Amino acid sequence: MLEQISQSKVFGGWHKQYTHPSDVLNCTMRFAIYLPPDASDSHPVPVLYWLSGLTCSDENFMQKAGAFQKAAALGIAIVAPDTSPRGEGVPDDPQGEYDLGLGAGFYLNATQSPWNQHYHMYDYVVNELPSIIEKNFPVTSERSISGHSMGGHGALTIGIKNPEHYRAISAFSPICHPVACPWGQKALRAYLGDDQAQWQAYDTTELLREKACPVPILIDQGEMDPFLEEQLKPWDLLEVADHQQCELTYQSHPGYDHSYYFIQSFIESHLQFHAQHLLGQRS
C-alpha cells in the first residue's frame, strides 16, 4: 500500500513522495514522482524513469536537476526511485564505504549472501516499480529511462536488456564498463561473486559487444569529470558501439564535471530527446 509522505506544487504540476512495502526488495522503499499539470485519468502521460548515482536517494535529482519546468511543458511524468534497499536488517558495506551497500545498489539482482535477500534493484526498476506507478497514477505504459553515474549504468543496461519496455535511453556521466573499473569490480564481485561471466550481464560495453541496441541512446559527458578516466570509461563503450548498428549519440562537454550543475545544464535537451520518442515532440 502506498503512503504519501510529501507533496509540493511546482510549475503547475505536483512533486510527491511515497513509501511502500517492496516484495522484491523485502523492505520499505521510497520513490518520488513528478506529475505534469495535464496528467489526469482522462489524459494519462508517459513516464521517464530516472536512476541516481552512488550515495543518492530519490531526492537528489528531484531537488537539484531543474527538470520540472520542461517536464511540465512537455507533458512527461518523472519517477525517481531510491538507489538501494534500505532499513533495519538491510546489509551495508562492512567497511562503511560509500560504493557498496546502502545507496549503492548498482541496479542488479544480487546472488551472493548477504546481499541476495534485498539487493534486487534490477527487478524493482524493471517490473515492480512500473507496475505500482501504472496502477496508482495517471500514466501510460510508455516509458523511457535515464540516469547519472551509477544510475547511468543502470539506465543503459536496463534499457539495452529490455528494449520492448523503453522508447529511449539516456545517461549523464555513466559507468560504461564496470567490469573494468574499481567501482564496478568491487560491487559486481560482492553482489554476484567471482565468476566474471556473470558480471557481463550488467555491463553496457559487454552487452553491446554481444548485440546491437534497437533503442536510441543519448549520453552526455563532462570533460572535467574527475572520474572520467578511471571509473567511467566511455571510450570503451564507443569503440564497441562503432561496430554495432546502434543509434547512439555521445556528446562531450569541455569544462563540465560530475555534479548536478552539469545535469542542470543539459537536462532540458535530455527531456526533449525523450519527448521526441515518447510523444513525437520535436520542439
251 grid coordinates: 556528446
CA-wise closest residue to 4 among 143, 107, 145, 132: 132
The catalytic residues are: 149, 225, 258
What is the side-by-side order of every strand in the sheet holding 139-148? 3-10, 13-22, 27-35, 77-81, 45-51, 139-148, 169-172, 217-222, 248-253
Evaluate the omega torsion of the peptide bond into residue 36 and state whether it is cis, within 30 degrees of 0. Answer: no
107 grid coordinates: 541496479
- H helix or E strand, kind and range, residue 7: strand 3-10
Sign of the torsion formed by the C-alpha atoms of 75, 221, 127 and 132? negative
* Residue whose C-alpha cell reads 545498489 in the numeric block: 105
Neighbour count for residue 243 (Cβ, 10 Å): 10
CA distances from 5 to 10, 35, 80, 274 (A): 17, 16, 15, 28
At 35 the three-state DSSP class reads strand
Question: In degrees, to the nearest 5, what angle opens at C-alpha 98 toward C-alphas 93 and 100?
Answer: 45
CA atoms within 13 A on the CB side of 125: 36
For residue 211, give every residue at least 6 positions away whose Cβ sits within 8 Å of its Cβ, in sequence order, or none.
244
Q: Give dist(CA 245, CA 227) in Å, integer.
A: 28
Whether 24 and 108 have beta carbons less than 8 Å apart is answered as no
